[in-house]
């Protein structure tokens, strides 16, 4: 008598959200210095390399300054990545249950865009705090905001500028998330199929595909990311339109790709690390909840 196919196992929805956020937070702990350098370069008006910016930070502010804004980066992952991956997995499983099959590539891309936009809106307050905290060290001492941590940043923004300022730059943040998710899903799948002919399925394959995906995603999303960064760091009373027009008038069109190297160097590894941590958490859950085999009498 043949055995029936074992029932497919699912991870509870609340754990999907928790695993997604935790994996993003772990990855952020590793790549935070690159995020800091990228932000400093995007806010700088001069033509400087990522290496000179990084060395200047260490020389003037100390090595630990590379982790400035880490608390805000972790909160961003706890809000944005938790929501993005959790919503995407919820969309995916709901489609699979109702349609009786996995969604196609186009449907998965739309799910990713939708999940990314929702996650970006939820994560915008942490994004505003992150941009300001990582940018603070480049300002003259009398102009620095000197936020102690992300909680202090959020409370002071509400007190000094109003609660709505927590969503300053929400529109470009959401647009960036939609571009990132659309580009990542499409190019990652294509690169994965391409590398599969020469690289065995595993961490090496995921790394190669993620780096190609990261390159395309960086080119597509950097202009929106720089505009978002400038808007969120702008002084009180400065309009979003004036921020964009001043940027293009004073620094030129190609300034929209300023900080390309650290942005790309962060995006690829962060994607790889996030999904490696996520897969390990999923595997650990299935391993720990594996039903005990019944003993034969």
pLDDT in tens, 46-78: 667 778 888 988 998 899 988 988 998 899 889
Q: Which residue has the higher pLDDT, 107 or 162?
A: 162
pLDDT at 21 over 80: yes
pLDDT in the model for residue 297: 46
In angstroms, the CA 168 to CA 130 distance is 12
pTM of the model: 0.71
Complete domains list, the chain, with CATH:
13-276 (1.50.40.10)
pLDDT at 122 over 90: yes
pLDDT at 174 over 60: yes
**For residue 276, which phi and psi values (nearest 5 degrees)?**
-65, -45
Structure-token pair, residue 172: 């470009």
pLDDT at 158 over 80: yes
pLDDT at 79 over 70: yes
DSSP character string of the chain: -PPPPPPPP---HHHHHHHHHHHHHHHHHHHHHHHHHHHHHHH--S---HHHHHHHHHHHH-GGGGGTTHHHHHHHIIIIIHHHHHHHHHHHHHHHHHHSS---HHHHHHHHHHHHHHHHHHHHHHHHHHHHHHHGGGS-GGG----SSHHHHHHHHHHHH-GGGGGTTHHHHHHHHHHHHHHHHHHHHHHHHHHTTTS-TTHHHHHHHHHHHHHHHHHHHHHHHHHHHHHHHPPTT--HHHHHHHHHHHH-GGGGGTTHHHHHHHHHHHHHHHHHHHHHHHHHHHHHTPPPPPPP-
pLDDT in the model for residue 8: 62
**pLDDT band with cut points at 50, 70 and 90 for residue 9:** low
Q: Which residue has the higher pLDDT, 11 or 120?
A: 120
**pLDDT band with cut points at 50, 70 and 90 for residue 45:** low
pLDDT at 90 over 90: no
In terms of C-beta density within 10 A (0-12 exposed, 13-18 middle, 19 or more buried), how is residue 127 classed?
buried
> What mean pLDDT, rounded, does the chain reach?
82
Q: What is the dihedral of CA 265, 187, 93, 16, to 10 degrees?
A: 0
Counting Cα atoms < 13 Å in the Cβ hemisphere of 283 gives 6
């Amino acid at each position: 008598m043949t055995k029936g196919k074992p029932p497919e196992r699912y991870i509870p929805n609340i754990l999907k959200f928790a695993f997604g956020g935790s994996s993003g937070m772990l990855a952020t702990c590793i790549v935070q210095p690159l995020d800091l350098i990228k932000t400093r370069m995007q806010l700088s008006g001069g033509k400087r390399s990522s290496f000179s910016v990084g060395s200047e930070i260490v020389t003037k502010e100390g090595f630990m300054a590379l982790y400035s804004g880490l608390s805000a980066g972790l909160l961003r992952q706890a809000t944005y990545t938790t929501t993005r991956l959790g919503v995407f997995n919820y969309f995916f499983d709901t489609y699979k249950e109702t349609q009786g099959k996995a969604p196609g590539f186009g449907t998965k891309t739309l799910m990713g865009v939708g999940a990314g936009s929702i996650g970006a809106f939820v994560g915008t307050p942490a994004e505003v705090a992150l941009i300001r905290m990582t940018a603070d060290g480049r300002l003259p001492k009398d102009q620095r905001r000197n936020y102690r941590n992300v909680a202090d940043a959020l409370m002071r923004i509400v007190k000094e500028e109003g609660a709505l300022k927590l969503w300053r730059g929400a529109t470009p943040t959401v647009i960036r998330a939609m571009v990132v998710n659309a580009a990542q899903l499409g190019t990652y799948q294509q690169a994965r199929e391409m590398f599969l002919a020469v690289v065995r399925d595993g961490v090496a394959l995921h790394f190669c595909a993620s780096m190609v995906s990261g390159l395309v995603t960086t080119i597509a999303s950097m202009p929106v990311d720089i505009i978002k960064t400038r808007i969120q760091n702008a002084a009180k009373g400065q309009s979003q339109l004036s921020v964009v027009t001043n940027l293009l008038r004073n620094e030129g069109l190609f300034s929209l790709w300023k900080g390309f190297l650290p942005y790309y160097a962060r995006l690829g590894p962060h994607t790889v690390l996030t999904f490696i941590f996520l897969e390990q958490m999923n595997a650990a859950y299935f391993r720990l909840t594996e039903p005990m085999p019944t003993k034969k009498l």
